[in-house]
Amino acid sequence: LVIQKVHEYLEKSSFRIGTVQSSSEILLCISEETKHDCSCQAAIRQAVLDCKKIFLCTVKTPYRFDDWFRSLNIDEKKLFNTNESSIEKMMSEIQIDLNHNHNLPAIVKHTRIVSPLHQNIRINLTSNSSTPTLSLTTSLRQPPSVLSPRPPLKNIQSWTKGEVLEWCAKNNLNSFTKILTLYDGRSLLALAHVSRMSAPHMIINQLRNDCRRHGLNLSFVEFVRFQAALDDLLRVERLLTRRPAISTLAARYVLKR
């Protein structure tokens, strides 16, 4: 029903359907089901890593913000409620925010995009949930370019434990220099794959538990840096090996667990 109303509003406002390539703001329609949808959570995590601006909109009541949403550090003050505000009013407020915050950093996902002359709006329906995810983008701001890290001298699978700790220090991952002391390159790649395939709240909770055992407190900022650094590692490893060795390695790791 929410998506139907949004479509009707977009048609009245002369929006047109386009392609999904870039996005800077997102209207995320959430309910209790959203917390348990891994594909939706993965998309939200990627949006956070890409420094996207996320607007929250509750589509069902009651709704309780749990630790996972708080760990993402999404601004709860920018909260819309379809049960208390009309779609027209809500979209109008978001457009005003877009017009006054062009430099604000929303979810890049395989979805449809709807765009007027100066703004793009993308509607995303997760496959396993009736809860829609609506992404808003502005064409006035191009997404930041991503610079690939300098390739290491040898494949990451061949890294020693010392080289893993050196990588942690180079990326300012102070907590991880304590909890990854027994990790070599193969273990690090396995962790990278498991991290990408699992729900974000599960990963951050497990890592925080490991940090507590060492008397450390893993911050959200360091967790985001860790995820970004892992993504860079996987990208470099794919360039170096040009074969699906990472997925095979991580698959064996998961089965052994």
- Helix pair angle (161-170, 185-197), 10° resolution: 50
* Sign of torsion over alpha carbons 98, 101, 102, 106: negative
**Structure confidence at residue 165 (pLDDT):** 92
**Structure confidence at residue 22 (pLDDT):** 54
**Structure confidence at residue 5 (pLDDT):** 72
The residue whose two tokens read 């991880």 is 176
State whether residue 219 is helix, strand or coil: coil
Spans of the chain below 50 pLDDT = 16-21, 77, 102-152, 243-257
Can you tell me the distance from the alpha carbon of 36 to that of 174, in angstroms, rounded to the nearest whole number?
31
The half-sphere exposure of 193 on its side-chain side, counting CA atoms within 13 A, is 20
pLDDT (tens digit per residue) in 27-42: 677 777 766 676 666 6
**Structure confidence at residue 162 (pLDDT):** 92
Please tell me whether the overall predicted TM-score, pTM, comes out greater than 0.95 for this model: no
Residue 247: C-alpha distances to residues 14, 41, 187 (Å): 44, 21, 13
pLDDT (tens digit per residue) in 83-130: 666 667 777 776 776 665 544 333 333 333 333 434 444 444 444 444
